[in-house]
Amino acid sequence: MLDQLSLLAGAEDVIVSLGPPPAHPSVRPAAVVHRPMGSAWLAGRCKLAAGSAEVLHAWSAEAARALLAPSVRESRGLVLSLPCAPRRAELSGPAQWSRCERFRVTVPTEAARRRLTAAGSSPEAVHVLPPPAAVPEERTDCRVRDELGVGDDDVLLASPAPMTRDAGAKYAPWVHAVLRQIRPDVRLILPGGGPAERNVRFYVGSTGCGGEVFLTGDRYPRGEVLAAADVAVFLFERDCGLAALVAAMSAGVPIVASRTPEVAEAAPDGEAAVLVRPCDPRDASGGVLRVLEDPSLAERLGRAAQARARAMFDPAASRKALEEIYADVASSVPGIGASSAQ
């Protein structure tokens, strides 16, 4: 969501951080609000620093709790953006909030929208906000590959999604280890980090191929990693956000990904990606091997994914869709226009 915020925030939007500012190179909060006892709701009751903003936009369910404080939500339009359809146990919150006339929820796909409305969310209150795809880095892979010692004839797999519980990053080293029994030239890069990083490191150390797996943290931006990669893998256990996937599509990298509802909508199987069964390293390994052994398939998938990203996930189009959502929620509050704070 921080990736999306960095691409969609307008020049006049005010970004407020609840608690310490996020570690993101392009998100610069104008204000930082203290969270008493770590509670977003208490932060909203105390002081949100929203000023005269007529629309307040929360970029996480946690941030949305601050908007529910009476002093904050009064006479304002409210927007909550979610990275994906929530888990079943978490669906009740957005469903309840969406019944408020001045509240809108955004999700990245129609599949997520259907899941929310089936759980009781008001259909009029749930909007699809296509995740914007950043302009890709130039395909100059010298720095990443040279510094890691990956040769021109080696194959570099990248697993660029944040290491969250549902992202399935632990399957990437497993798939790499399987492929190494067939292709001795395969290497793997896992950039970034996240709450599941410890588990990922454990899996890397248990495969016997750890010397050919690179956990690079924040050493390289995602764009440079994608520019260096031959194949990008997204082995999600369940839908968990599309920002990294659409970035890989925009970069024209052949993709192998789990066949989850939101991934299948963004990158259809055989058209913009090879989709495999979630939580199935054998099927994932076979999918990657198909791409590696068929250069024409890899080239076709990369071109089609890039064209699809430009058509569906253009940042300017996403920003226009967001402005329309702001106007919609603002029109539900008597006497206000459509300015906003994030």
Q: What is the pLDDT of residues 218-247, one digit of tens each?
A: 999 999 999 999 999 999 999 999 999 999
pLDDT in tens, 92-148: 666 667 667 788 999 999 999 999 999 888 898 999 999 999 877 665 557 999 999
Distance of CA 188 to the CA centre of its chain: 21
Any idea of the CA torsion for 116, 118, 119, 121, to the nearest 10 degrees?
60
- What gap in Å lies between CA 281 and CA 237, rounded to an integer? 11
With H, G, I as helix, E, B as strand and everything else as coil, classify residue 208: coil
pLDDT in tens, 66-100: 777 665 656 678 899 999 988 876 766 666 676 67
- What value does the mean pLDDT take over residues 190-197? 94
Mean pLDDT of the chain: 88
Whether 152 has a pLDDT exceeding 60, the answer reads: yes
Whether 305 has a pLDDT exceeding 90, the answer reads: yes
Q: Which of 50-59, 91-100, 252-261 has the highest mean pLDDT?
A: 252-261
Whether 14 has a pLDDT exceeding 50, the answer reads: yes
Q: Which residues contact 212 (CB under 8 A, 6 or more apart)?
A: 176, 180, 186, 187, 188
- What gap in Å lies between CA 213 and CA 211, rounded to an integer? 6
Identify the H or E element spanning 155: strand 155-158
Whether 337 has a pLDDT exceeding 60, the answer reads: no
Instruction: Give the pLDDT band of residue 25 (cuts 50, 70, 90).
Output: confident
- Tell me what pLDDT residue 91 has: 67
Instruction: Give the pLDDT band of residue 33 (cuts 50, 70, 90).
Output: confident
- Tell me what pLDDT residue 70 has: 64
Q: Give the C-alpha distances (Å, rounded to integers) separating 153 from 99, 183, 186, 232.
A: 56, 12, 10, 17
Question: Taking every pair of C-alpha atoms in the chain, what is the biggest distance, in angstroms?
Answer: 67
- What gap in Å lies between CA 104 and CA 125, rounded to an integer? 5
Token reading at 286: 């076979």
Q: Are 220 and 193 in contact (CB under 8 A)?
A: no
pLDDT higher for 329 or 233? Answer: 233
- What value does the mean pLDDT take over residues 150-156? 95
CB atoms within 10 A of CB 150: 21
- Tell me what pLDDT residue 216 has: 96
Instruction: Give the pLDDT band of residue 41 (cuts 50, 70, 90).
Output: low
Q: Which backbone phi and psi does 168 adopt, to 5 degrees?
A: 65, 25
pLDDT in tens, 310-325: 999 999 999 999 999 9
- What gap in Å lies between CA 304 and CA 167, rounded to an integer? 24
List the domains of the chain with CATH numbers.
2-132+314-331 (3.40.50.2000), 142-312 (3.40.50.2000)
Whether 338 has a pLDDT exceeding 50, the answer reads: no
- Tell me what pLDDT residue 60 has: 87
Q: Give the C-alpha distances (Å, rounded to integers) separating 264 from 51, 136, 232, 249.
A: 41, 22, 15, 13
pLDDT higher for 19 or 285? Answer: 285
- Tell me what pLDDT residue 271 has: 97
Least confident of 26-30, 184-188, 235-239: 26-30
CB atoms within 10 A of CB 259: 17
User: Which pairing describes strands 213-217 and 31-33: parallel, antiparallel, or unpaired?
Assistant: unpaired
- What value does the mean pLDDT take over residues 165-177? 95
